[in-house]
Amino acid sequence: MRKLLILLIVAIITIPSFAATILINGEKSTFNKIDIKDNDVVFVSLRDLEQIGLGTIKQSGDGGIEFSTSKMNLLFYKDSDSVKMNSLSLKLPMSTYLEDGKLMVPLSFVVKSLGAEYDQETDLIIHIDNLSIPKKTELKAPTLEQPTSNSPVTEGVSTPAEPEKVVTDYQAPSLDGNWFQGIVMAYGKRLNLIDVDLYNSNNKLVQTTKSTEGAFAFKGLDDGKYYIKIDHAKNPSFKTFTTAPFNVKDMEGNKIKKPLNIYRAIKSNGCKPNEVKGQKCYMFTWNEVPNVANYKVIVSSSNPKAKVAKYDKKVEKINIPISDISKGQTYGVSVIAYDKYGNKIGESVDSGWTFESK
């Protein structure tokens, strides 16, 4: 009996404690400390987030901890559910706290502030997707305005010298009124320096901004209905994209949940007569699309009785045999590009996709 009791005690001691598994862009990440609080709120230390490469830590002048990312500054305080994001006051899901000299913060808040997706499954496997890990040279964000003093916290960092003035070409409108942010992507990657336009319900251009590492924001907006347009004329490599109209009201830092996925522009190199194995053809060629697995080519005619050539295979150009179409008819050609997962990543643009059979 005593031997059995000893075995039971050993078994109890050796049972490992359960901890969350955090997958960033599909890969497991190592956190030195993970705490799971009420309502399954997951806390990690700012120091761990720094070691992953998401940002840098420094002591603020009023005792807070400033976490600078490639896109923004976050200012945290010990035992506080308030945080400053680029001087804008926001609420955390739970208050921060200090543990082993490290400031513990809600993981979901930081991740979503960076524009990534956060999904916590019931078995505490946490998926963080579309998270961009910046280069070290990109980490420095504009310096925060220092708010009034709050609960101080020390994390073993020395007080820095006076910060250098940071010059940026981004002049945000006033934060008065509504503001929201989103992500623009193509073929599964975030797009930098894309012109994103915001129009009101009268089709008037209200604001234009450029994406930074895929992220964009519109600020200082009145209540009303708007839509977003990414214009091919401003972004020649991509097909024009327009969202459905949406209402803007009481929006402070809201995020468009789904990324704006835009398509590469496929431009025609023209239609030329050609001959393949003694057969006369019309030849179409076009520019290549990155990450393409196959193209689908659609030939059409406004005349329902006209013969139409059919293509549905991996091609980089097409030769349309004269025997496959009707004489004296006008035809249109469109091309769609797909990646290896079957996602549409490109589509034909411009007016060079019609010809008249002779």
| pLDDT beyond 70 at 317 | yes
**Residue 230 pLDDT:** 95
pLDDT single digits (tens) 258-280: 889 999 999 998 888 999 889 99
- What average pLDDT does the segment 1-28 reach? 54
Task: Kindly report the three-state secondary structure assignment for every residue of 275-310.
Answer: EECCEEEEEEEECCCCCCCEEEEEEEECCCCCCCCE
Question: For residue 337, how far is the Cα from the chain centroid?
Answer: 21
The better pLDDT of the pair 305, 187 is held by: 305
Ranking 5-14, 40-49, 89-98, 178-187 by mean pLDDT, the lowest is 5-14
Query: What is the pLDDT at residue 135?
Result: 64
The pLDDT > 70 percentage for the chain reads 79
Per-residue pLDDT, averaged over 19-24, amounts to 77
Radius of gyration of the chain (CA): 28
- Can you list the alpha helix ranges (DSSP code H) found in the chain? 2-14, 46-52, 107-113
Spatial neighbors of 307 by CB under 8 A, at least 6 apart, are 324, 325, 326
What's the distance, Cα to Cα, between the start and end of the chain in Å?
Answer: 100
Distance CA 125, CA 113 (A): 20
DSSP at 238: B
Reduce the DSSP state of residue 26 to 3 states and report it.
coil
Domains within the chain, CATH numbers bracketed = 17-138 (3.30.457.10), 178-261 (2.60.40.10), 264-356 (2.60.40.10)
- The pLDDT value recorded for residue 238 is 93
281-296 residue pLDDT tens: 999 889 888 888 888 8
The pTM assigned to this predicted structure is 0.49
Tell me the pLDDT tens digit for each residue of 162-207.
343 333 333 334 445 788 888 998 887 888 899 999 999 999 999 9
Mean pLDDT of the region 76-84: 90
